[in-house]
A and B are shown apart, each in its own frame.
Chain A
């Protein structure tokens, strides 16, 4: 069950997705332990919600990818614990949203699906944890540009794609994550969306998303396979990715389905280190 959350919906009343996000927030507040934050009122009377945000975890409901509610949370320095985007959920469940602002059958179905998904994920969250305790020593080589230091592990079991993601391959499993290039560019990471447990991921497919106030980064999986574990600590401590994106900040574990083929489009430390240096130099002119 979704309980003890402060709920910040987008409340964009001129769009169907906004109306849906408002409706979901209201339905979640049928449970008295959840409290709603009105995004409009909070702009002019922030103090009214101080107690609520201090005593509850924050659930943000964005209507569309403009992410007004997320941006408001970032602006007010609120730490997001959970987040959904209505248009993404609609897409995932093949529900087409119309421009109509009235909630009809389609929209009500989507609301039910989202509410069930939120409640199920909440029940499941406690059971998902990293069962594999790797005792492994990462060996880093660093590159400095101005005040920024970029580490890259040079262990031979760690592969990279040119999209700045890594895979540490052990037998038929791989742990995946982003490199220092990503976390330095995003700056303070505020939110992490893990991939779904049991989801099948293609090579170069999306395997989670991380977000800072500056930008959104989709983790582009270096390998294909099934998601068997996620680093659920990142849901509450996404800043672990800033601290060390290879160890504390790993994202997920994948059971590999075709690593031999995936390997064709992966590179090792030597190549990635050079590519990353070039990218850093280009970005900094």
Chain B
């Protein structure tokens, strides 16, 4: 599923996606199985077997994949910064 806007703001303008800590990731692929939005991509034949493929599919403020990550290898941006950024963009656009 791809969302084009979130709270009226173009999804592209919102920095919200998981970051993979490859020093912790054990490639258990629970996140790939878990995320219904296909944010992650499994690359079995590559050295780095897991990447963020569809960042804009990631539901803004959802951190559920980090909740099910056994080795705690997934992190997200600061929520308050993202919230403020969305408010600022909405303000800019309503004035623009």
For the complex, give the distance between the alpha carbons of A203 and B63 in Å: 14
For the complex, give the distance between the alpha carbons of A237 and B87 in Å: 38
- Per-residue CB contact flags for chain A residues 52-73 toward chain B (1 = under 8 Å, else 0) read 0000000000001111000000
Q: Are A205 and B79 in contact (CB under 8 A)?
A: yes
Q: Are A220 and B61 in contact (CB under 8 A)?
A: yes
For the complex, give the distance between the alpha carbons of A277 and B53 in Å: 26
Taking CB atoms, residues of chain A closer than 8 Å to B22 are none
Q: Are A64 and B70 in contact (CB under 8 A)?
A: yes
Q: Which chain B residue has the least Cβ–Cβ distance from A206?
A: B63
Taking CB atoms, residues of chain B closer than 8 Å to A216 are 64, 67-68
- Per-residue CB contact flags for chain B residues 59-96 toward chain A (1 = under 8 Å, else 0) read 11111100111111000000110110011001000000
Q: Are A65 and B68 in contact (CB under 8 A)?
A: yes
For the complex, give the distance between the alpha carbons of A218 and B67 in Å: 9
Total contacting residues, chain B, CB less than 8 A: 26
CB distance from A26 to the nearest CB of B (A): 23
Q: Which chain A residue has the least Cβ–Cβ distance from B70?
A: A66
Residue A209, interface by CB 8 Å:
yes
CB distance from A159 to the nearest CB of B (A): 13
For the complex, give the distance between the alpha carbons of A205 and B59 in Å: 14
Residue A264, interface by CB 8 Å:
yes
Contact partner of A218 (CB less than 8 A), chosen from B1, B62, B69, B82, is B62
CB distance from B8 to the nearest CB of A (A): 9
Residue A89, interface by CB 8 Å:
no
For the complex, give the distance between the alpha carbons of A50 and B7 in Å: 50
For the complex, give the distance between the alpha carbons of A162 and B63 in Å: 14
Given A65-B70, A279-B1, A283-B1, do A162 and B60 touch, yes or no (CB 8 Å)?
Answer: yes
CB distance from A6 to the nearest CB of B (A): 24
Given A66-B70, A265-B83, A283-B1, do A218 and B36 touch, yes or no (CB 8 Å)?
Answer: no
Contact partner of A67 (CB less than 8 A), chosen from B59, B64, B68, B83, is B68
Contact partner of B59 (CB less than 8 A), chosen from A91, A163, A206, is A163
For the complex, give the distance between the alpha carbons of A162 and B59 in Å: 9
| Residue from the set B64, B79, B83, B86 with the largest chain A CB neighbour count within 10 Å | B83
Residue A202, interface by CB 8 Å:
yes
For the complex, give the distance between the alpha carbons of A67 and B30 in Å: 11
Q: Are A217 and B70 in contact (CB under 8 A)?
A: no
Which residues of A62-107 are within 8 A (CB) of B?
Answer: 64-67, 87, 91
CB distance from B7 to the nearest CB of A (A): 5
Q: Are B64 and A215 in contact (CB under 8 A)?
A: yes
A-B contact pairs, 21 of them (CB 8 A): A64-B72, A65-B67, A65-B69, A65-B72, A66-B28, A66-B70, A67-B68, A87-B72, A202-B80, A204-B79, A215-B34, A215-B64, A216-B64, A216-B68, A218-B63, A264-B87, A265-B7, A265-B83, A265-B87, A283-B1, A283-B36
* Chain B interface residues (CB < 8 Å from chain A): 1, 6-7, 28, 30, 34, 36, 59-64, 67-72, 79-80, 82-83, 86-87, 90
Q: Lowest 8 A-B CB distances belong to which pairs?
A: A66-B70, A282-B1, A204-B61, A64-B70, A220-B61, A65-B70, A216-B67, A65-B68
* Chain A interface residues (CB < 8 Å from chain B): 64-67, 87, 91, 161-163, 202-206, 209, 215-218, 220, 264-265, 267, 279, 282-283
Q: A65-B70, A163-B62 are in contact. List 12 more A-B contacts (CB 8 A).
A: A64-B71, A65-B72, A162-B7, A162-B60, A163-B59, A202-B79, A216-B68, A217-B64, A218-B64, A220-B61, A282-B1, A283-B1
